[in-house]
Structure 1
Amino acid sequence: MSRFLRFAVVSCAALLATAVLHAAEPLRVFIRAGAKTHGPNQHDHPRFLGDWTKLLGERGLKVDGSMNFPTAAQLDATDVVVIYAADGMKITGADRANFEKFLQRGGGFVVIHDGVVSGDQNDWAKQVQGGSWRWDGEKKTQWHEGEVGLYFVDQEHPITKGVSNFDWKDEVYNQLDMSPDVHVLAVSFVDVFNIWPQLWTYEKTWMGGSAPYRAFVSIPGHEYDVFNTPHYRTLLLRGIAWAGKRSNVDEFCTREELASIQYPAGGPRRAADAIKTFQLHPEFNVTLAADETAAEKIMALDWDPQGRMWVVETPEYPGGLDVNKNDFKAYWNRAQ
């Protein structure tokens, strides 16, 4: 073998080894938690720090965390910051300077529930995460606790791909001060005139930055039970991977978690499970012909004289359907 060919083979092997090593590098995550607030099983930030440090570590991530905002050195060793703390985005002084340097190099972050709140720093927080909580005057942000739902307006984004709508007990925020350039993934609503963003992404290059950063904001997290649902774990794990610019956002999810997103608790049921809940008229019986999602948002159904069933669907509700010039979609930023 010639010296040149030997050099080329060694060089290629070295490059391949470097690429494999780089691909195998764990995603570095820092969890910024805070003191527990609210009632039992609510806003349990310390518990999240403990549980998710363990969970992410078991999934192959390199995890650090604290009840305080990360230091400059900790940010240097971090790819994604997860913020779940009261007033988590109230970042000032040296912490803000360090965080902006982190953003300038393209670091990512995930904000959960009350982590989106920023005290009197709402203008800065809006610039960073795409939306903020307001305390002032008519712009004051509101909230609603109880049985609420998530309606996914983008089911093709890597974070929300394949996720079905569902209801659960938690809390939604409304009248957040939103930037028009956020990418909304899911909303909650009481009617088509009140559509509230609850999950969104935000990508931009910070002033003076060398690379764009990614932010994923997820409002659910008032009740700690939501973190134990496999479909919400999937969303958060995908969000962390996406914010860290991983090519495969499912790499930290289990097979069981991914299997839960089509039929999540509080969402659509498999046909085999749904028929068990039917209350049939004595003259009717039901048999399972197919177990698949063949209909969406049924508005009405009836049978014709030949015994055929006809179904009227409204799959576009509440997003609207553009058919002619008189139609318009109920966008979240037009409805409020």
Structure 2
Amino acid sequence: MMQQAACSQAVNAEGAPRPWGQNPNGMHVYLWAGLKSHFEGQHDYPQFLADWSKILTEHGAIVDGSLHAPDSNDLEHTDVIVIYKGDAAYLSDAEKTALEAFVRRGGGLVSIHDSLCGPDPAYFATLVGGAKKHGEVNFTLGTPLHYDIVDKTSPIMEEMTDITIVDEAFYKMTWAKNPEVHVLATVTIPNTPVVAKAAPTYAGKVVPQIWTWEHTLPGGQPARAFVWMQGHTYANFANYQIQQMLLRGIAWAGKRPVDELVSYVAPPRPQHFIAPPSEAARP
């Protein structure tokens, strides 16, 4: 009975109990993930959906999501879509219609790693500022990557330094031209075996890997996109600097104060909340 009382104190618009600590006024985030691919510890899209549903809720967001593209009903109250799905730029006509309608009303997009890969990079670049073509060798594979922070004044990059992570960089990109992306960080493409064999002219080139983009689709409202092209190695999502950057980038893309998620403090638990034994034993 006591647990039921705790749940009944917070309900959402449909009358169902809210998760404990959820911010009823939080931004609405839709996580679009996909099925697991690649090797162990790589491209773990389902784990991202599970982990970041919890992380974002704990940071004050109201979270929904799935392993398929959202439709118009999913996006009715959404502020920002976070995409972490292999080759998400392969879109059906219905998916394009729903996504474009969302962006036209000012909805934000966050693209992570190979979400921006597909058959028509020129099209997807109109949504997130840059994209790459599926089937081209346009990647380094896993290797040490050193970030050079280009815009150290950006509030999104407040806690980011010129760190080195083991991940994958992309380089053969199709970029939006009007307007151009605002680059936050670059990587000098290392001369990995795959680069040396398939694209040697890109070795040593400086290529944007983190950026923002503000644009307006024809007939629409101004919209925002934030892109982080790493995430090949799933463990990097737990890196403190990267996690703070992503939280700020998501808030920015959703047109919220950039620190809204990183600064959120959940309310104290009700006195009658019954903690499980594993938590009750903690100091």
TM-score of the pair, normalised by structure 1 = 0.64
- Counterpart residue number, 2:82: 82
- Counterpart residue number, 1:205: 216
- Counterpart residue number, 1:161: 158
Q: Deviations over 1:143-173 (max 9, x none)?
A: 3421111111111112113521000111111
Shift of residue 136 of structure 1? 6.6
Shift of residue 89 of structure 1? 2.2
Shift of residue 130 of structure 1? 1.1
CA distance in structure 1 between the aligned counterparts of 2:163 and 2:74, rounded to whole angstroms: 37
Bigger Cα Rg? 1
- Counterpart residue number, 2:196: none
Counterparts in 2 of 1:1-336, with a 5 A limit?
Answer: 25-118=25-118, 120-135=119-134, 141-180=138-177, 181-190=180-189, 193-209=204-220, 211-247=221-257, 249-253=258-262
Residue pair 2:211, 2:227 contacting (<8 A) in 1 also: yes
Task: Point out where structure 2 has 5 or more consecutive residues left out of the alignment.
Answer: 1-22, 191-202, 265-283
Task: Point out where structure 1 has 5 or more consecutive residues left out of the alignment.
Answer: 1-22, 256-336
CA RMSD of aligned residues (A): 2.0
CA distance in structure 2 between the aligned counterparts of 1:224 and 1:193, rounded to whole angstroms: 25
Runs of 4+ deviating beyond 6 Å: none
Number of residue pairs the alignment of both structures matches: 228
Shift of residue 124 of structure 1? 0.8
Corresponding letter in the other structure for 2:248: R
- Counterpart residue number, 1:15: none
Corresponding letter in the other structure for 1:157: S
CA distance in structure 2 between the aligned counterparts of 1:86 and 1:162, rounded to whole angstroms: 28
Q: Deviations over 1:161-210 (max 9, x none)?
A: 3521000111111121223411111110048950011001111111111x
CA distance in structure 2 between the aligned counterparts of 1:202 and 1:64, rounded to whole angstroms: 24
CA distance in structure 2 between the aligned counterparts of 1:240 and 1:72, rounded to whole angstroms: 20
Residue pair 2:124, 2:130 contacting (<8 A) in 1 also: yes
Shift of residue 88 of structure 1? 1.4
